[in-house]
Chains A and B, each alone.
Chain A
Amino acid sequence: MRGRTRLPGRLPDTVTAWLARGVIVFLYVPIVVVVVLSFNDSDVTYKWAGFSTRWYGVLAQDTDLLAALRVSAEVGLISATLATAGGLFAAMGMGRLGPRGRAVFSGSLFLPLVIPEIVLGVALLSVFGTLKASLGLTTLVLGHLVVTLPYAALIVLGAHRALDPALDEAAADLGCGAWQRFRLVTVPLLKQALLASWLLCFTISFGNIVMSTFTSGVGTTTLPLRVYSLLKTGLTPEINALGTLLVLFTFVIILGAGLRQMRRVLIGDGTD
């Protein structure tokens, strides 16, 4: 090893810094292109023919897509609510378990995260097949519950663990019953986490395609499934317009609520 000063580190660091910036730009180029091309006054997506909002008009008239949007919204609403409620109760219950029980329970709760989603879908389909259940809104909701519940649990568990147990004890000392403590202490303190969990679960459900492929029935085509089948015949400017609205939807969700919770889920704690 030669005796080196600080200088040799500079050039590789500059290179990696530019590479990192390049990667972040790379993450945005496709998204920006979708947004720009959605305002393209042409029947072909990639040939620019001037600014126009006509594809948004076409989109608003597309009854098939609107019906699919409705299904997705319904499924997202129900599954996000169920997942968040399930996550909240699980978090409260796990606080009452011993370390062993907690480990076992959280292990099974997060199991769906490490199993390929397609296997989860196939597995659910096997159950529905055995029960001779007809595929529809119910099976879709159950499928989406499987993929959203671990995320809800992640968010709510993290926030619940950060709660000061003294607050609950103080409420009990002041004569609050369990239900009152739940309603007046636990839920208000977790309000942000619950909102974040709900929004994230809704987004996951709304964009889900793998699970939906196996759990949707005739007449319950979700938006992604509909778009996927449209894309197989070719990309149209109308789909770009829809994509732009979905990008906007992402912005609203992320900026609107729960950035801190989201950060906590993605990279661990959310102290800063």
Chain B
Amino acid sequence: MTVTAAPPAPVSGPPAPRAGRARHRAVTFALLAPAGLTVLALVLVPLVLVVRNSFALPDAYGGIKGGFTLANYTELFDPVYLKVFGYSLGMAALNTAVCLLLGYVVSYWLAGRPPRRQGLLLLLIIVPFWTDFLVRTFAWINLLSPGGPVNGLTDALGVTHGPAQWIPSQGASFVGLVYAFLPTAIFPIYATLRGVDPSLGEAARDLGCGWWRVHTRVLLPLVRPGLLAAALLTFIPTLGVFVIPVLLGGGKNQLVGNLIVTLYTEFRNQPMGAAASVVLLVLMIASVAVLGTAAGRLRRRTS
């Protein structure tokens, strides 16, 4: 792969222009082929196949029989499934909101530190970000167990008396989600905020803006691209999560991710799993579009 991608060129003089251009093209193609073909064969073609399978009939062995039906989609309109979609959207929206708020607070504080400190603090946030996802999730089982550290603290504060059953619960599941996605939300917000001239905030303050106005009228509009990126990086993956609701939520209140995994592995109904995946994909595209227009409208209003 490596050698054929860049064969040694003749050292003696430049080749004829036409042949040179053809060779240039061939080399460019050879260099782009590994990644390009990977995306084509392992992402684009598979996505088309999922859409196709979502209209297919299941066979008795958990496979695809072919044919064409809309039944997979109409079945997803069952209240049981609609509830999952509604709950997922709500949970993802709430998680995104909390992550954006905390992400902005941390980024604002971080951007105000001396440059050297910023690097160190950023490193502090990178460590949890790269810590194994499962470790970060089961850490909360430790923390929230009856008689565990959090319980001990609330006992000491007099909030609880004796072992408390916090896990599994929707609340635990939500805490796990926030914990998992908070670092992801911080990075893009900080990246844009860092590019904002701090004197703008000071100028606004000097011109009589209070703390609230400095943020809502000056800083937030300038950080909008970062907030948008953070929203997407939080919202989309939350919908697809399935580990956190199972381990911390007890699997009772499921997200779309759980639905898809259950349809594939337990119900062995691939076409319906494919249909649920397509719905997730559509939800994702819709949320990107909504966030995009919301950003556009905001921009028009402020300008």
Contact = CB atoms under 8 A, between A and B. Distances in A.
A127 interface: yes
Contact of A247 (B44, B108, B135): B135
A142 B115 CA distance: 41
Contacts of B188: 267
Nearest to A122: B277
A52 interface: no
A2 B130 CA distance: 47
Interface string A29-41: 1110110010000
A177 B8 contact: yes
A202 to B, nearest CB: 11
A93 B135 contact: no
Nearest to A45: B142
Contacts of A34: 135, 138-139, 142
Q: Which of A96, A122, A235 has the most CB of B within 10 A?
A: A122
Interface in A247-264: 247, 250-251, 253-254, 259, 262-263
B303 to A, nearest CB: 21
Interface of B: 1-3, 5-11, 24, 27-36, 38-40, 42-47, 49-50, 53, 63-64, 102, 105-106, 108-110, 115, 119, 121-136, 138-143, 145, 147-149, 179, 182-183, 187-188, 190-191, 194-195, 205-206, 208-212, 214, 232, 236-237, 239-240, 242-243, 246-247, 256-257, 260-261, 264-265, 270, 273-274, 277, 280-281, 284, 288
A20 B242 contact: no
Given A19-B105, A47-B147, A266-B191, A182 B130 contact: no
Interface residues of A, number: 101
Interface of A: 1-4, 6, 8-9, 11-13, 16-17, 19-21, 23-24, 26-31, 33-34, 37, 45-47, 85-87, 89-90, 92-94, 96-97, 105, 108-109, 111-112, 114-120, 122-127, 129-130, 142-143, 145-146, 149, 153, 175, 177-180, 182, 200, 203, 206-207, 209-210, 213-214, 224, 227-228, 231-232, 235, 239-240, 243, 246-247, 250-251, 253-254, 259, 262-263, 266-268, 272
A207 to B, nearest CB: 4
Given A20-B106, A179-B6, A267-B191, A126 B143 contact: no
Contact of A272 (B6, B36, B49, B115): B115
A122 B50 contact: yes
Q: Which 6 A-B pairs have the closest CB atoms?
A: A93-B31, A30-B139, A123-B46, A20-B109, A116-B240, A177-B8
Contact of A231 (B134, B209, B212, B237): B134
15 contacts: A4-B208, A9-B214, A19-B105, A31-B128, A31-B131, A90-B32, A108-B40, A122-B273, A126-B49, A127-B46, A130-B64, A178-B7, A231-B134, A243-B134, A266-B187
B46 A124 contact: yes
Main secondary structure of the interface of A (DSSP, over half): helix
A23 B126 CA distance: 13
A9 B34 CA distance: 54
A111 B39 contact: yes
A31 B136 contact: yes
A118 B280 contact: yes
Given A24-B125, A93-B28, A142-B42, A254 B130 contact: yes
Nearest to B152: A46
A23 B123 contact: no
Q: Which of A90, A97, A126, A145 has the most CB of B within 10 A?
A: A126
A85 B6 CA distance: 13
B63 to A, nearest CB: 6
